[in-house]
């Protein structure tokens, strides 16, 4: 991916990273539902990992049910495991995980991260590090539902304080507490 120039255009498509599980707190599913509905209401396309499991399925169904546009990308080897949601407006099957992540980010103007596990962290850090390297300038919004990502925020602050990353990394991240704030941050 080559360096993208800064854009002033409105955000039309958002890549959502989130858990393939629902997590322990029902607030996570509620936030996924609110985010899917909010994207649909704002006329913003949802780009995500095309699974029908966990928060991934929840955000996609909420967006679809509210009349929103959905774009899912899944690697062939996860079609069964993550219960591929084939009824999305756009459904893409890739050969590899790396291709999946590239297609998702390429087709989005911004990134929103809901609570999730190792896969979500991997995706978030790819978005952060690619931005750090100047490969894109897409906003990265972290939805800190009930403080789920607060330990991650502390770790990122620690990494910056210990001078293994610049303050620009912190400035590239938008922390919000609710799906409504995430939608507002995208405007
Ligand atoms: P998780 O947050 O672990 O529930 O995973 C959420 C999504 O991230 C799933 O669709 C995973 O397939 C995906 N994912 C992306 N990159 C990775 C990776 N390197 N390892 C595991 N899962 C990943």
Structural domains in the chain, CATH included, are 13-186 (3.40.50.450)
Q: Ligand 1 mean position to 142 CA, how many Å?
A: 16
pLDDT at 2: 45
Q: By CB neighbour count within 10 A (0-12 exposed, 13-18 middle, 19+ buried), where does 18 fall?
A: buried
Q: Quote the tokens at residue 104.
A: 């998702």
Q: Does residue 102 have its Cβ closer than 6 Å to ligand 1?
A: no
pLDDT tier at 187, thresholds 50, 70, 90: confident
> What is the rounded CA–CA span in Å between residue 153 and residue 170?
9
59 within 8 A of 16, measured Cβ to Cβ: yes
Which residue lies with its CA nearest to atom 21 of ligand 1? 119
Q: Strands of 4-44 (E only): list them.
A: 13-17
Backbone angles phi, psi at 141, to 5 degrees: -105, 125
112-153 pLDDT per residue, tens: 999 999 999 999 999 999 999 999 999 999 999 999 999 999
Q: How far apart are the first and last CA of the chain?
A: 25
Q: Are 174 and 141 in contact (CB under 8 A)?
A: yes
User: pLDDT band at 9, cuts 50/70/90?
Assistant: low
Q: Which of 81, 82, 74, 24 is nearest to 52 (CA)?
A: 82
Cβ of 117 closer than 6 Å to ligand 1, yes or no, is yes
Q: Does the CB atom of residue 57 touch ligand 1 within 6 A?
A: no
Residue nearest to atom 7 of ligand 1 (CA): 119
Residue minimizing CA distance to atom 10 of ligand 1 = 49
- Both tokens of residue 175? 């922390």
Q: Kindly report the pTM of this predicted structure.
A: 0.94
**Cα gap 34→56, rounded to integer Å:** 13
């Amino acid at each position: 991916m080559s360096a993208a120039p800064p854009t002033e255009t409105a955000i039309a498509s958002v890549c959502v990273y989130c858990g393939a599980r629902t997590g322990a707190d029902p607030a996570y599913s509620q936030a996924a539902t609110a985010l899917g509905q909010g994207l649909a209401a704002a006329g913003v396309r949802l780009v995500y990992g095309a699974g029908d499991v966990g928060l991934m399925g929840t955000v996609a169904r909420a967006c679809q049910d509210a009349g929103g546009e959905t774009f899912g990308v899944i690697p062939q080897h996860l079609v069964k495991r993550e219960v591929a949601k084939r009824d999305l407006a756009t459904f893409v099957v890739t050969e590899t995980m790396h291709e999946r992540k590239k297609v998702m980010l390429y087709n989005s103007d911004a990134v929103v991260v809901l609570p999730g596990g190792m896969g979500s962290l991997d995706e978030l850090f790819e978005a952060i590090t690619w931005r750090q390297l100047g490969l894109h300038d897409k906003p990265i919004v972290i939805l800190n539902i009930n403080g789920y990502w607060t330990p991650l925020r502390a770790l990122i602050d620690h990494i910056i304080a210990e001078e293994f990353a610049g303050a620009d990394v912190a400035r590239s991240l938008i922390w919000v507490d609710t799906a409504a704030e995430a939608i507002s941050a995208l405007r």
